[in-house]
């Protein structure tokens, strides 16, 4: 019996469904899409692994009412599954592998994007989409690309604004870190009014971010006179 089959049996015994009850266990996934985690063969179980407890205010103690979550988690790990928290992970709507949606460090950068308002896609699926994956970022000063490298946006025809300048923009808590995407966008359009603009995250940290602006000539093929 392989790991996935063992996992499904354990989850079914605990929740009544081999993919979970949507509360204690929310999904069983094969493969990580998140960089730096596991592999495409990993079996991941998303859930809430906190036991149900009750607090006694008189003696300031906790009483465990149901330890099924922690017991299930231990059993799943024994058969080779990876345990993740359901409020930190989800599955990609393209390849159905696991994607982290909450930071695991101050330098973490999201390797996914939300398209069509609610559908999450991982980095690999977004790269396969090409231009379509950048649609929601173009000319939006509140959006920033985090899930690819600069070579990808450059391969789609984007050029770094002020490419000869090694300085990138900064926004944060330290003095002088006050660069504003809206002001940068306005500056670009004063010089090149007929371009598309997108912003790219270069670095994330606890107290600041560094970012760049990229431009590409706007496609005006549809702006023809009748």
pLDDT digits (tens, 9 = 90+) for 190-212: 999 999 999 999 999 999 999 99
As a whole number of angstroms, the distance between CA 155 and CA 157 comes to 5
* pLDDT tens digits for range 57-104: 888 898 999 999 999 999 999 999 999 999 999 999 999 999 999 999
As a whole number of angstroms, the distance between CA 18 and CA 13 comes to 8
| CA-based nearest residue to 153, from 71, 215, 92 | 215
Domain spans in the chain, listed from the N-terminal domain onward = 3-100, 137-217
As a whole number of angstroms, the distance between CA 91 and CA 108 comes to 18
| Phi, psi for residue 103 in degrees, rounded to 5 | -60, 145
Question: Half-sphere exposure of residue 140, counting CA atoms within 13 Å on the CB side?
Answer: 9
| CA-based nearest residue to 27, from 115, 118, 89, 113 | 89
Residue 65 CA: distances (Å) to CA of 9, 11, 12, 54: 24, 20, 21, 7
Helix (H, G, I), strand (E, B) or coil at 187: helix
Is the pLDDT at 225 greater than 60, yes or no?
A: no
Provide the CA 82 distance to its chain's centre, in angstroms. 19
* pLDDT tens digits for range 106-122: 999 999 999 988 899 99
As a whole number of angstroms, the distance between CA 62 and CA 130 comes to 52
Q: Pull the structure tokens for residue 121.
A: 């896609």
| CA-based nearest residue to 171, from 184, 180, 163, 162 | 180
| Phi, psi for residue 195 in degrees, rounded to 5 | -130, 160
* pLDDT tens digits for range 34-61: 999 999 999 999 999 999 999 888 888 9
């Amino acid at each position: 019996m392989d790991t996935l089959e063992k996992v499904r049996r354990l989850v079914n015994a605990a929740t009544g469904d081999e993919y979970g009850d949507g509360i204690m266990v929310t999904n069983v996934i094969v493969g990580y899409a998140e960089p730096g985690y596991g592999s495409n063969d990993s079996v991941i179980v998303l859930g809430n692994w906190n036991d149900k407890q009750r607090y006694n205010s008189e003696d300031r103690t906790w009483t465990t009412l149901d330890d099924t979550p922690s017991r299930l988690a231990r059993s799943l790990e024994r058969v080779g599954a990876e345990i993740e928290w359901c409020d930190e992970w989800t599955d990609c709507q393209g390849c159905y592998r696991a994607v982290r949606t909450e930071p695991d460090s101050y330098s973490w950068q999201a390797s996914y994007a939300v398209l069509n308002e609610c559908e999450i896609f991982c980095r690999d699926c977004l790269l396969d989409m090409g231009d379509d994956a950048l649609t929601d970022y173009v000319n939006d000063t509140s959006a920033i690309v985090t899930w690819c490298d600069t070579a990808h946006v450059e391969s789609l025809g984007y050029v770094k604004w002020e490419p000869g300048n090694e300085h990138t923009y900064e926004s944060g808590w330290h003095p002088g870190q006050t660069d504003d995407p809206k002001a940068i966008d306005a500056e670009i359009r004063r010089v090149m009014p007929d371009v598309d603009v997108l912003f790219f995250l270069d670095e994330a940290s606890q107290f600041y971010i560094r970012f760049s602006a990229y431009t590409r000539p706007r496609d005006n093929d549809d702006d023809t006179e009748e």
